[in-house]
Amino acid sequence: MLIWDLTLQVFTMARFILNNDYHFLSFAFIHNSNDNKCVMVLEMHRNSDGTFRASICPTALLHPRKTRAIDGAKVYNELEIYGVVIGGEKLEQLILELHQRDNNFSLAVNRQGLCLSFLVPDERRDRFYPIHDLFDWRRYGVNVPKLVSGPCGEAKVMEEFRQKEELKDLCLELGKIKKELCRKEKELKDLGSELEKTKEEFHQNVKELKDSGLELEKTKYELCKMEKERKDLSLELEKTKEEFFQKENELKDICLELEKTKEEFCQKENKLNDLDLKLEKTEEELRQNEKELKDLSFELGKTKEKFSQKEKELKDLGSQLDKTKEEFCLKENELNDLDLELEKKEEEFRQNVKELKDLGLDLEKTKEEFCQKEKELKNLESQLQEKKKDLRHCEKQLDEKDQELKNLTKRLRDEQNDQVIIGSIYREYCNNISFEKRLQNLFTISRETHVILAFARDYDDSERRTNGIFKEFFDQNVTPLMIANFKRDSPTTKIFLCIGDRSQRYPFRITNKRRWITNATTSLRRIIRHYGFDGIDVYYTRSDVEANDFIYAIGTVIDTLMTQQIITTASLAPCSFMHRPNYNFYAELYKRNPNNFDYVVFQTHDDNNDVPLNDAQALITNFIDLASNQNYPKEKLLIGHSILPRDWDTIPYPVILTALPQLIKSGVVQGTSVWNLTDDQELKKLTVQNKVKIALPTTLDSQQVNP
């Protein structure tokens, strides 16, 4: 009997399905419990000598009433065998039957009805022997199908176990016969020695019989009797030898069957060798593919070098374009000065004509002055024509530079892979319904698409704190029906509710932790259920409370919503200043709740450094440090950046475009997060003010923004 000393833990299960032949059911006691009888599921492993050994810990426990896990083993209240469910009274009957069997010897049974038991108590865990016809599943309504050799060879293994059992029985009988034969031979030897003694006595008696004939007759009679017994023993010995030879022949037949089984095993082994040869060929092809992949990587390196050269040329053209713009502005200013001077001359001319008319000066003098003024006017007009000609030439050069820049930008975008720029996860922050058309086909490029609706804050419309009562502040045109339709059309999309705010005007603050947690849980549950959000994104850039209060409050709310299955995922959006209080807040929050946060999005555009980060390699190094030294898993990291030019003073957009493919390809981050909270009016103003355009990734619906 196996007894387990088990410690109770909280874990609720329902039904265990016995769907294989190597799981066996055995009786067990539960210590420290009144209702202590149960059935444990043991996984049996075959030994080389045909016996079985049990695993150290049970796979599961079966009990009609208990629901909590016991010493790490799950507890089930029902058992399913070949589609038949055994529970309640049936399960109690099964426990009692195994208990009764356990009083005589330890018994384990599988779904086929095969029973295993140990013969020696010291070998109770390492040597179980097969036993048949001790258990019948039909009394529990289970119809066990006939054994059929399937892909796993379970029927063949069971038949082999039966052959082993029969061979073992024959060996035991043969051993008994040998012992009996040895005993008979010993008795025969004893009789022979007694016969020798009797002969000696006979010779002595012969001497004595010479003196007494009666004693001789008695001795002859006893000698005949003993000779008869010897003959009977010889006959029994011959019969025993015949039985021994018969058993030996049966043993030879069994050995022949074993030889046939070995031949079949050799055939299977030959097939396995053939499969190994095929595997070696496949590995050789894989090595060739790896070699080709290395060649492709070398070509990709060359393409990157060309890309760097083109990027350098693009920067040179940008500088030339800036110089051309300056020259154009100078020419335009000169032209404006000439226009003003011409207007002054014309005004003076008109005044002179008026004065000449009023004063009645001499006509000749007036004509001379008029001719001089006219000559000066012609000179000014010729200068004006030359300036206009120079201006048209500058405009033509500007258009050529603009066209060349567009071509280089287009080539740059064509050479880049959308999947590399985006990664397996693409996330976008927005506050209106603009994402519906822009992201509707994005799920064909990225593995996951995240839409983050911002924001929900515990402030009212007058910007007064509400102590945890959150209110949505995104566009009212975003409705639950629109979100449901978008998720239906984009099956890989997750919709997050962003709590907090990017602005430092709405810091995180609590006055009563318990009340804040209760209010936040209730209000966020209402918003999430109403709109159908999948998760929550935590995005605070300022906190007016200590780190422990922030971590405890946010962690408790997220954990409660997860436990209640209100949300299925959550993410953090810490800022990129690496050694400041907010960063420590988020790092400790993730460290205490790693299983609740599936994504960590570092927002590079929220860095408050006075000096912008212009080195792509420095940005890559920062994210490598996050993954290696700050305990953020690479499979959860996303790089966050803004597509709005007003945010590029922190990290210029070309730096992001350079670092992003390298970070994604090296596996440091899994995707990109885009900040897109703006309106169309702002983009139109930016387009009017600047002529030079850069192309954003095609995943943003080919939208163009001016730097």
Nearest-angstrom CA–CA distance, 603 and 538: 12
DSSP-derived 3-state class of residue 349: helix
Residue 375 confidence (pLDDT): 84
17 has pLDDT over 90? yes
Nearest-angstrom CA–CA distance, 21 and 705: 65
Nearest-angstrom CA–CA distance, 255 and 552: 73
C-alpha R_g of the chain: 48
522 has pLDDT over 90? yes
Structural contact between residues 492 and 448, judged by C-beta atoms closer than 8 angstroms:
yes
pLDDT tens for each residue of 311-354: 787 777 777 777 877 777 787 777 777 878 777 877 877 787 77
User: 375-390 b/e with 16+ CB inside 10 Å = b?
Assistant: eeeeebeeeeeebeee
Query: What is the average pLDDT across 265-293?
Result: 84
Closest C-alpha among 417, 377, 411 to residue 307:
411
Query: pLDDT band at residue 30, thresholds of 50, 70 and 90?
Result: confident
DSSP-derived 3-state class of residue 490: coil
Paired tokens of 17: 């399905």
**What are phi and psi for residue 18, nearest 5 degrees?**
-85, 90
Q: What is the mean pLDDT of the chain?
A: 79
684 has pLDDT over 70? no
Instruction: Identify the weakest region by mean pLDDT among 187-196, 359-368, 493-502, 629-638.
Output: 359-368
Q: Which run of H or E residues covers position 2?
A: strand 2-4
Nearest-angstrom CA–CA distance, 358 and 346: 18
Structural contact between residues 617 and 650, judged by C-beta atoms closer than 8 angstroms:
no
Closest C-alpha among 75, 18, 21, 79 to residue 52:
21
Residue 698 confidence (pLDDT): 32
Query: pLDDT band at residue 237, thresholds of 50, 70 and 90?
Result: confident
Query: What is the average pLDDT across 664-689?
Result: 67
Query: What is the average pLDDT across 99-110?
Result: 75
DSSP-derived 3-state class of residue 37: strand
Query: What is the average pLDDT across 601-622?
Result: 78
Residue 394 confidence (pLDDT): 65
Closest C-alpha among 442, 632, 603, 450 to residue 536:
450
The partner residues of 427 in beta bridges, in order of sequence, read 450, 673
Nearest-angstrom CA–CA distance, 18 and 40: 12
Residue 411 confidence (pLDDT): 53
Q: Which run of H or E residues covers position 540?
A: strand 535-540
Domains annotated on the chain, with CATH: 10-144 (no CATH), 425-686 (3.20.20.80)
Q: Count CB neighbours of 144 within 10 A.
A: 15
6-to-28, 34, 44 alpha-carbon distances in Å: 11, 13, 21
* DSSP sequence for 50-84: S-EEE-SS-SEEE-SS--SEETTBEEESEEEETTE
683 has pLDDT over 50? no
Bridge-based pairing of strands 637-642 and 671-675 is: parallel
Instruction: Identify the weakest region by mean pLDDT among 137-141, 365-369, 437-441, 699-703.
Output: 699-703
Paired tokens of 423: 């990664």
Structural contact between residues 85 and 78, judged by C-beta atoms closer than 8 angstroms:
yes
Closest C-alpha among 423, 598, 627 to residue 496:
598
**What are phi and psi for residue 609, nearest 5 degrees?**
-65, 145
Nearest-angstrom CA–CA distance, 611 and 309: 26
276 has pLDDT over 60? yes
Ramachandran quadrant class, 467 (left: phi over 0; alpha: psi -120 to 50; beta: rest): left
Greater model confidence, 246 or 629:
246
pLDDT tens for each residue of 468-480: 999 999 999 999 9
DSSP state of 584: H
Residues 6+ apart with CB under 8 A from 640: 427, 573, 601, 602, 603, 604, 605, 672, 673, 674, 675
Query: What is the average pLDDT across 679-690?
Result: 40
Residue 153 confidence (pLDDT): 40
pLDDT tens for each residue of 445-462: 678 899 999 999 999 999
Residue 401 confidence (pLDDT): 56
pLDDT tens for each residue of 651-662: 888 888 888 889
Nearest-angstrom CA–CA distance, 679 and 662: 31
Residue type, 125: R
Task: Using the structure block, give the residue that is written with the tokens 């896990």.
Answer: 69
41 has pLDDT over 80? yes
413 has pLDDT over 60? no
Closest C-alpha among 535, 511, 523, 662 to residue 596:
535
Residue type, 441: N
Nearest-angstrom CA–CA distance, 334 and 595: 67
Residue 159 confidence (pLDDT): 56
Query: What is the average pLDDT across 533-553?
Result: 92
Query: What is the average pLDDT across 286-299?
Result: 82
Residue 330 confidence (pLDDT): 80
DSSP-derived 3-state class of residue 417: coil
% of residues, the chain, pLDDT over 70? 80
Paired tokens of 320: 């030339």
Query: pLDDT band at residue 1, thresholds of 50, 70 and 90?
Result: very low
Residue 608 confidence (pLDDT): 58
Greater model confidence, 552 or 405:
552
Query: pLDDT band at residue 577, thresholds of 50, 70 and 90?
Result: very low
666 has pLDDT over 50? yes
Cα 457–Cα 460–Cα 461 angle in degrees, nearest 5: 115
Q: How many CA atoms lie within 13 A of 172 on its CB side?
A: 6
Query: What is the average pLDDT across 419-426?
Result: 70
461-to-381, 472, 578 alpha-carbon distances in Å: 63, 10, 33
Closest C-alpha among 583, 585, 517 to residue 547:
585
198-to-191, 202, 235 alpha-carbon distances in Å: 10, 6, 22
Q: Count CB neighbours of 174 within 10 A.
A: 16
Paired tokens of 264: 């079949």
Cα 139–Cα 144–Cα 149 angle in degrees, nearest 5: 160
Residue 681 confidence (pLDDT): 41
593 has pLDDT over 90? yes
The partner residues of 570 in beta bridges, in order of sequence, read 536
pLDDT tens for each residue of 361-395: 667 776 777 788 888 888 888 888 887 777 777 66
Residue 443 confidence (pLDDT): 58
591 has pLDDT over 50? yes
